[in-house]
Amino acid sequence: MRFEGLFRSHAGAVRGYALRRTDPDEADDVVAETFLIAWRRFDDIPANAAPWLLGVARRVLSNRRRSDRRVLSLSDRLAERERRKPSGTDDTDLRLTIEAALERLPEKEREALRLLAWEGLSTAEAATVLGCTRATLAVRMHRARRRLADVIDGQIAETDAAKRGSWRTTTRAEER
């Protein structure tokens, strides 16, 4: 009952705050996530709840922006890698390479990547799903990204070497 009163009293202000900083759909998500955090930390909310709730909303927006930047950065890196690929390969090869690389990661790291990249969860949400702290999730993501990049780079190098080797073999055989 007290939480419902808190929501009724402050949801409009939190949504207005979010709307001034993002689009309406994301603003609704920010309100939902803010009040989810408020629900979890209900005993920590001070008597004057509005500043506390706006602070939570600010951090939620900040986390979403960081997540969006990471996704864009990853997309840019993948696009750059795609541009550098030899013309004989296609998107299917890249998808298969990524899927194979994901399978080589430890399960906890693979699941962390999937929750953030594929499910679009925030760091806090993914940490909740995995039952760990955000700091633990950040370590898992760091390791996962590094291992994934190493595996993908290694597989691309192996594929390129195999293609070069088969081309050279064919060329030498033709010369004889």
HSE toward the beta carbon, residue 174, CA cutoff 13 A: 6
**Do 76 and 136 belong together in one domain?**
no
User: Are 74 and 9 in a shared domain?
Assistant: yes
What pLDDT is attached to residue 144? 87
The verdict on 75 and 90 lying in the same domain is: no
pLDDT tens per residue, the chain (176 residues)?
Answer: 799 999 999 999 999 999 999 999 999 999 999 999 999 999 999 999 999 999 999 999 999 999 888 888 888 888 887 777 655 455 677 777 777 778 888 888 888 888 888 778 888 888 888 889 999 999 999 998 888 888 777 766 676 666 666 544 444 444 44
Which residues 6+ apart lie within 8 Å of 52 measured at CB?
45, 46
Domain span at residue 114?
A: 86-176
Q: According to the model, what pLDDT value does residue 26 have? A: 93
Model pLDDT, residue 71: 86
Burial class (CB in 10 A: 0-12, 13-18, 19+), 30: buried
Angstrom CA distances, 122 to 10, 79, 84, 89, stand at 23, 23, 31, 33
Q: What is the CATH number of the domain that holds 64?
A: 1.10.1740.10
How far is residue 12's CA from residue 17's CA, in Å, rounded to a whole number?
Answer: 9
Rounded Cα distance, 80 and 112, in Å: 24
pLDDT of residue 7: 95
Number of domains in the chain: 2
Whether residues 127 and 78 share a domain: the answer is no
Asked if 142 and 118 sit in the same domain, the reply is yes
pLDDT at 10: 95
- What pLDDT is recorded for position 23? 93
CA dist 62 and 17 (Å) reads 13
Q: Domain check: are 50 and 98 in the same one?
A: no
62 and 110 inside one domain = no
